[in-house]
Amino acid sequence: MADTQSVIKSKFLSHGTLGSKDLVASRKFYEEFLGLECVQTSKISMMIRLGGEHVYAVVQDKRMGEMPRLNHNGIDVDTDGDVNEAYQSVLDGAREWGLYNISEPVEQHGTYSFHFWDRDGNTWEILCNPKGGYTWIFDQGDLEGKGHWDPALRATKANSTKTN
């Protein structure tokens, strides 16, 4: 938590929102392909989560546009090999699940990952991260001048996760 007093007395980043053109098809994709937990909250919405308390509200919007790559959603796996297996699964399932713009796995911002879009236009990143996701980067403090794109961070992450 920041050392300064904030205006808002916030305590937890609880949720984000995704769009869906077809809630039934989206739920099937989330559960059967991505392995997410889903619960229907209304005729046009559901909540999804995976491995923690942060959730996404998914709201049906048949006119939804495509999410920019920068605004992607990350799903962590344990190893680079798991990233490669997920990549192959995305390629294999592209036609069935309506997946497109599938990038090849690459080393970037301290992780090994790839991106793709689902039939709703939501952007996903599958990446190798330790337990806790990007929380390891907070141990580094502000990265003035380097940014989290520094290739040395991959080694730093590996070393910091051995002690956690």
pLDDT of residue 164: 46
Whether the pTM exceeds 0.75: the reply is yes
**For residue 37, what pLDDT is reported?**
97
pLDDT at position 68 is 77
Domains and CATH numbers, the chain: 13-64 (3.10.180.10), 65-164 (3.10.180)
Mean pLDDT in order along the chain per 10 residues (164 residues): 72 90 96 97 96 93 85 91 97 97 90 94 92 79 66 61 49
- Whole-Å CA distances, 103 to 4, 31, 117, 126, 127: 40, 23, 10, 11, 12
Give the distance from CA 39 to its chain's centroid: 19
pLDDT at residue 156, as a whole number? 61
What is residue 32's predicted lDDT score, i.e. its pLDDT?
97
Angle made by CA atoms 83, 86, 90, in degrees to the nearest 5? 135
